[in-house]
Structure 1
Amino acid sequence: MSTESTASVSTHILDTSVGRPAASVAVSLSARGGAREQWVVLGRSATDTDGRCRDLPALPEGTTHVRLDFETEAYFHTQNHSHSHSQKQAEAQQDAPAPRDSGAFFPEVAITFAVTPGEHYHVPLLLNPFGYSVYRGS
């Protein structure tokens, strides 16, 4: 809930490599009151089956910068493990080489942005094993 003195933040993750929401990705929300201030972790959450964090805490009054930290390595490890059987079957049929790596190129994604009191900031993360994109959504 946003007031004149605070901003609010929401996020979701879409795994563009499979065209589905990314579930069970750990996310932490940090804030600071200026460029020279220390980051304060406000809370931690994880994305639900729709790829959304529905329980991020409110930002304290005076927040000017926010950071969302997404722990993507565990998500991609789980994705690669759960798809390994179907990938092996497809590769056997196509005589394709095995995947190069089961880890994530970006083991974590940190997004930092400025906020203005009274505004809501929805910051979606579009994620794939070798890249990501973010934007201010609505």
Structure 2
Amino acid sequence: MPHLTTHVLDAAQGAPAPGIRLSLTAVDGTAIADGVTDDDGRAGLGPDVLDPGDYTLRFETRAHFEARGIDAFYPFVTVTFTVSDDRHCHVPILLSPFAYSTYRGS
């Protein structure tokens, strides 16, 4: 299993958000991995272990809303987080056209 997983839920639809493009980078911009959420809005990214440090996970949300004919305020969402140990990282987002929230999941 990749060290990093995510889950995108579309709160406006009350359903998972499939097909969202993702990219994982180190904060210096070095590309690490990319992917797309599956039919359940889930994805795993990156190597089996991420070195300690700061990372940014970018969710390309514009296309998700455009495909539904919805004007959204956020064309993408970025979440920057710190890896300090070898525990699995789960970084989900709850998404709507005009808001989002995130937390460290399990």
Scaled by the length of structure 2, what TM-score is found? 0.90
Alignment-derived partner of residue 76 in structure 1 = 65
2:79 to 92, 111, 121: 111
Q: Which runs of 4+ in 1 moved over 6 A?
A: none
Give the aligned residue type for 2:25: S
Task: Please report the RMSD computed on the Cα atoms of aligned residues, expressed in angstroms.
Answer: 1.8
More helix by share: 1
Change (3 A) 1:104 1:121: same
The answer to whether 1:47 aligns with 2:37 is: yes
Q: 2:21 aligns with which of 26, 35, 57?
A: 26
Of Structure 1 and Structure 2, the greater strand share is in: 2
Pick the aligned partner of 1:65 from 54, 64, 69: 54
Q: Does 1:120 align with 2:98?
A: no
Q: Percent identity?
A: 42
- Aligned residues between the structures: 106
Q: Assess if the C-alpha contact under 8 Å between 2:9 and 2:95 holds in 1.
A: yes
Which consecutive unaligned segments of at least 5 residues does structure 1 have? 3-7, 33-37, 81-101
Give the whole-Å Cα distance in 2 for the aligned partners of 1:40 and 1:60: 16
Deviation, structure 1 residue 15: 0.2
Q: Highest CA radius of gyration, 1 or 2?
A: 1
Aligned counterparts of 1:62 and 1:52: Cα–Cα separation in 2: 22
Which SS does the other structure have where 1:79 is aligned? coil
2:50 and 2:37 mapped to 1: Cα distance?
A: 25
TM-score (norm 1): 0.70
Deviations 1:34-63 (A, max 9, x none): xxxx22111111101100013x12166644
Q: CA deviation at 1:31?
A: 2.0
Paired amino acid for 1:118: D
